Amino acid sequence: MEELTKTEERVMQVIWKLKSCFVKDVIDALPDDPKPPYNTISSVVRILEKKGYLNYKAYGKTYQYFPAITKAEYRKAFFKKMISGYFDNSVESLVSFMVKEEQLSKEDIDKIKDIINKNK
């Protein structure tokens, strides 16, 4: 799975939320003000389709886009890459970082322990 740029990921977040859409729908759903040009978003959507993130249904010269992968599938691949790239494939390093740098509360740590215990 090819990595997404920040702009591509932002557009995918909108498409995952909409589930099925036209380029105009994506533009309308973006929080940007002023809205980005139609051609810019259209280009990003075509790149996402070429990368395999989107499928489409053609209506003449108009295309309705929908996700080819779920947000959960992307999250899993991205998370695996983050752990391998930044934490040397060590979940222990990730958790240690979260505890030290993010200053997790006791409540957060207890929730994490509960999740671990439920999945044993």
- Residues 51, 15: Cα–Cα separation, whole Å: 15
Would you state the pLDDT for residue 97? 86
What are the residue ranges spanned by the domains of the chain?
A: 6-67, 89-120
pLDDT tier at 57, thresholds 50, 70, 90: very high
Q: What is the DSSP code (8-state) at residue 63? A: E
Return the structure tokens found at 84.
């391998």
Mean of per-residue pLDDT scores for the chain: 92
Task: Using a pLDDT cut of 90, give the percent of the chain over it.
Answer: 61
Would you state the pLDDT for residue 3? 86
Would you state the pLDDT for residue 59? 95
pLDDT, tens only, 102-115: 777 888 888 888 99
Q: Which residues of 30-55 are buried (b: 16+ CB within 10 A; e: fewer)?
A: eeeeeeeeeeebbebbebbeebebbe
Angle, helices 6-18/71-86, rounded to nearest 10 degrees: 150
Return the structure tokens found at 103.
């200053």
pLDDT tier at 62, thresholds 50, 70, 90: very high
CATH, domain range 6-67: 1.10.10.10
Task: Using a pLDDT cut of 70, give the percent of the chain over it.
Answer: 100
- Residues 48, 9: Cα–Cα separation, whole Å: 9
